[in-house]
Each structure stands twice: as structure tokens, then as C-alpha cells.
Structure 1
Amino acid sequence: MDVIEALMQAGFTKHESILYVTLCREGELTGYEASKLTGISRSNAYLGLAGLSDKGGAYKINGETLKYAPVDSNELAENIKRKFNKVIKVIEEEIPQVNKSKDTFITINGDEQIINKIKNLINYAQYRIYISISREHLDYVIEELKSAQKRGLKVVIITSEGVQFEGMTCYKSQMNYGSIRLITDSANVFTGQLSGENSTGLFSMNNNLVDLIKDSLKNEIKLIDNKII
């Protein structure tokens, strides 16, 4: 993700994002000057600057010719944080909780969605975490695992290379690239494969699947302890 994409994620249009970066680089500009520098048509440049100002990304400087100056990037970041904190608060407090069924099997596709689900399962865990994950992908969730360990949770990692992390039990085992199995609190299970566009996984609270994956991980640990794998 580059800065233009980040600004668009924060609620600015593509033109507004380009114009904001240009203002930061060049300083105060008229609509005409901004159009010349960015290649955006003059009418769209004026509309973009007006929108940028309305959304808190630029100040209007009145004079013989209207100019625009950028809001300091640190100030803009704080404004965006406050905006999204309000949005998050409403989502957390006012949206009804999902009626979860233990027998539901949920398919999750895409690297980002899968990693987010794994991180959330780790962050919501209260007692113990068992995870089998290839070394190449362990870095995506290691900070969440470290945080869980600091909260006093039991954390067991099975991965494809020898690693050591304070307070965690780590095992080295052969595994397929991108393979993931995760059990949290003996109640939640995720199993899947990270492979770019074709990444897919399965999440469930189904007791039979939880027990199946839990037994699989326990048996793998026994084989490692006996130096069979």
C-alpha cells in the first residue's frame, strides 16, 4: 500500500489524495497550479481541492487568488484517528452481536482476511494457543503471540524452522509451505493454506473439528519429541 492508497482508505478520493501529497511537497497552490503539477484537469483540481478542504486535509488561503495549503501530516493523521475511533466505537457498541453457532463451518478466502482472522483469534484467546504455521508466515502473527504470552496464556508453536521465543514452547517440524492450523482455548479452530490469490481456510467452533485438529497437533508434538519427524 502506498500513500495514495492509504489516503483513499482514510476516505479521500484519488484526486484529493494526489492533491494533498502535491500540496505537502510544493506548499501553497492555486487550483490552476495544482492542475499543472498533477496533470489533473483544472475543473477536477478545483473540485478536489474543495473536497480536500471540506474533509480536513487542506486550508483555504483567501487573497487575490484562492490558494490551498496542506494540513500538517501529523495533524491529519490524528484527525483521521479520531474519526475512525468514533466509527469503531459506534460499531462496537451499537451493532448486535453475531449469534454464533458451534456447528457452523465458515470459509475464509484471501491472505489478508485469513491473517486478520488468525490475529483476532489469538487476541481474543484467554487460556491457551496452539499454532502450526510455516516459518515464512509466522512473522505475520508473532507480535500477537508475544502479546498473548505476556497476558499469561500458554503458547505452543510448531513451525518449519528452529525458533525460540521467551515464554513459549516451540517445535520444529516438516510442513507444507503456507499451511496453518490453529486452536485457541480448545474451543476455536482454524485450518487453511496461505498461497496468495488462492488462499483459503476454514474456521469453526465445532467440537468434532476442534478435537480432530487438537489431536493432530498433539500427535505431531509427540512424534517431534520422539524425534520421528
Structure 2
Amino acid sequence: MIERLMQVGFSSQEARVYVALLRQPSATGYEIAKVAGLQRANVYQVLAGLSDRGVVEQVSDSPARFVALPPAEVLGRVKRETASRCEALIVDLAAMATPSEPAAFWTLRGRDAVLERAGALVADARERVAVCVMADDLAWLGPALRSAAQTGCQVVVNVFGDVPVDFGEVYRHEPQDMTVGGHVLTLAVDSTTALIASLDEPAGAVYTAHPALLRVVEKLIRDEAYLAAIYERLRPELEGAFGRHLVELRARLLPPDQASRLMSVVGFGADPAAVNELLPD
């Protein structure tokens, strides 16, 4: 009990005197010293301090006798004063503190962790969900996206592959087996959180609330939607200028291994000289 009183601001001697008075009300300094195991001279000094703090009270003069005020009153006052000091400290220290940068990102490892986090982010959405997703991934993410749309969220879906999508604003891209760069998923929710995942093994992802990274992911998803809409409207002109599936433009910007993969999956029928010209050295 003494140690617990010391934890809320009593000294060791103050705690002993207060407990002694609770056990033996209306005691003299001599009696308190015996119960508390303290020197009599020390007890009177402690009693004076406790009286000033409203913890004990003198009830007679000859001889001087003291009583302990009720614990609910004493500790209730300590509680209120401590809370008030802490609230003032919070304000003062917050004014002194230099704002810290938000964490850049958190890492997820393994397919199950990625699927769980992506589904949870969509389930928690309140205003807007935007995603770039392979057709196969709609089997597990589609229900959460549909629920978000049904609750009033704006849902923007860039889908790679021909699969029915009966919710949201849908922008269709080339079939999944004609994509290069791996099995990637990008997701942005409520302009507050973004996730970038690779679902090729070993699967993993990062998700972030950092404003700069979030804007990059949102722009990536938005640009994919722009490209899909433009390509659908102007496909003949674009393919006339850049080849089937814009292969001439894409091959010049992709890493060499992905450019080679693009050539093999598009199969646009160019002669060997044209292929060699497009592929990086």
C-alpha cells in the first residue's frame, strides 16, 4: 500500500503517516510515530506538510490529535489535479514538438497477407476506391468492390482481361495473358491509403498513407483509365501510328526482357527486321 501511494505522489514517510492515521484515527504524533515506525520529530514535520495539502486534519490542541481525510476525497483530488496537469502538459508539449513525417510505407509478405489487406482496405472505404486489377483477381476482390459500390462509394476499375464487371466505372485493357511486367495490383482508397502488390511468387506488397506516395499511385491508376478510354475511342489511329497494342511505343520504354516478352505475346506479324529495330540491344 505504501508503494502504491508513492506512485501517486506521496513520499514514503507521508504514505506511512496517512496509513497510520487511517488505522488509528484521532491519534497523537507520538501514537502515529509508533504505528508508522518513524521518529517522532519527523512525524510532526510530515503532519504539517500533509495538513497543508488537505490530506490530514488536526482535530484537537491539547494534546494535538490528527485524523486522515477520507481516501475518496484525498485521492479523488489527486486524480483531478493529475489529470489537469497532464492535459496542460499535452497542450504545452505538443506546441513544442516538431511534427514528425508519416511512415513511408508498411510491407506485406505472402499472398494471404496481401489479399487480406487489400480486402480490408476496400471494406473500410467510405468515398472512393480506384484499382488496377487482373481479371482473375476479381474472383476474390470483386465482392468487396461490389459492396463498396452498393454503399455509395465511387468505384473505378481498370481490369486487364475480358470478365463481366457489373459495378463501378469500368475501363478495359488488353487481356491478362498479353500483359507484361508481372502480376501487379494497385489500389487507392479514399485518397488516404494506397497499396501496390506483386502477386507473382514470392507475393508481397507495400501499403502507404504518405501523401506523396499516395498521389503517385492515384495518378498511375487514373492514367490507366485515361489510356483505356482513349484507346477504345481512337484505336485505329493509335495502332496505325504505334502498331498493334501500341507495341512500337511500349517496346521502346520497357526493360529489354519485358520488351521481348511483349513482342512474343502481341504476335503482330512484323518482319524480323522490324522486330529487331524495335527490341532494345
Q: TM-score range with shorter-chain normalisation?
A: 0.5 to 0.7
Deviations, residues 134-173 of structure 1 (Å, cap 9, x unaligned): 1112211111111111111111111111344334111122
Say whether the 8 Å CA contact 1:137–1:178 is kept in structure 2. Answer: no
Aligned to 2:195: 190
- Residue-pair matches, total: 128
- Cα deviation for residue 115 of structure 1 reads 0.1
Q: Which amino acid aligns with 2:146?
A: K
Q: Bigger radius of gyration, 1 or 2? A: 2
Query: Residues of 1 paired with 2:148 and 2:197: CA distance?
Result: 22
Q: Does the 8 A contact of 1:125 with 1:184 survive in 2?
A: yes
Name the residue aligned to 1:217: 221
RMSD: 1.7
Say if 1:162 and 1:171, in contact at 8 Å, map to a contact too.
no
Give distance in 2, aligned partners of 1:138 and 1:185: 20
SS for the counterpart of 1:171 is: strand
CA distance in 2, matches of 1:115, 1:202: 12
Q: CA deviation at 1:102?
A: 3.5
Percent of counterpart pairs with the same letter? 17
2:147 counterpart letter in structure 1 = S
Matched residue, 1:11: none
Partner of 1:156: 156
Name the structure 2 match of 1:208. Answer: 212
Indicate yes or no: 2:119 matched with 1:119: yes
Please, what TM-score do these two structures have when normalized by structure 2?
A: 0.43
TM-score (norm 1): 0.52
Match of 2:263 in 1: none
CA contact (8 A) 1:163 1:170 kept: no
Q: Could you say which residue in structure 2 is the equivalent of 1:180?
A: 185
| Conserved 8 A contact 1:134-1:177 | no
CA distance in 2: counterparts of 1:147 and 1:217, whole angstroms: 20
Secondary structure at the aligned position of 2:107 is classed as: strand
1:112 alignment partner, SS class:
helix
What per-residue deviation string (whole Å, max 9, x for no partner) do you get for residues 26-60 of structure 1?
Answer: xxxxxxxxxxxxxxxxxxxxxxxxxxxxxxxxxxx
Shift of 1:180: 0.3
- Where relative contact order (Cα < 8 A, 6+ residues apart) is larger, the structure is 1
Cα deviation, residue 109, structure 1: 0.7
What residue is the counterpart of 2:79 in the other structure?
none
Unaligned runs of 5+ in 2: 1-100, 232-237, 239-244, 246-281
CA distance in 2, matches of 1:166, 1:102: 37
Aligned to 1:25: none
Given that residues 188 and 203 in structure 1 are in contact (C-alpha distance below 8 angstroms), is that contact kept between their aligned partners in structure 2?
yes
Higher helix residue share? 2
The alpha-carbon deviation at position 125 of structure 1 amounts to 0.6
Q: Distance in 1 between matches of 2:129 and 2:146?
A: 11
Matches within 5 A, 1:63-102: 102=102
In structure 2, distance between residues paired with 1:199 and 1:160: 19
Alignment of 1:17-166 (within 5 A): 102-166=102-166
Q: How far apart, CA to CA, are the structure 2 residues paired with 1:146 and 1:108?
A: 24
What one-letter code is carried by the residue in structure 1 that aligns with 2:199? L
Cα deviation digits, residues 117-143 of structure 1 (max 9, x gap): 000000011001001111112211111
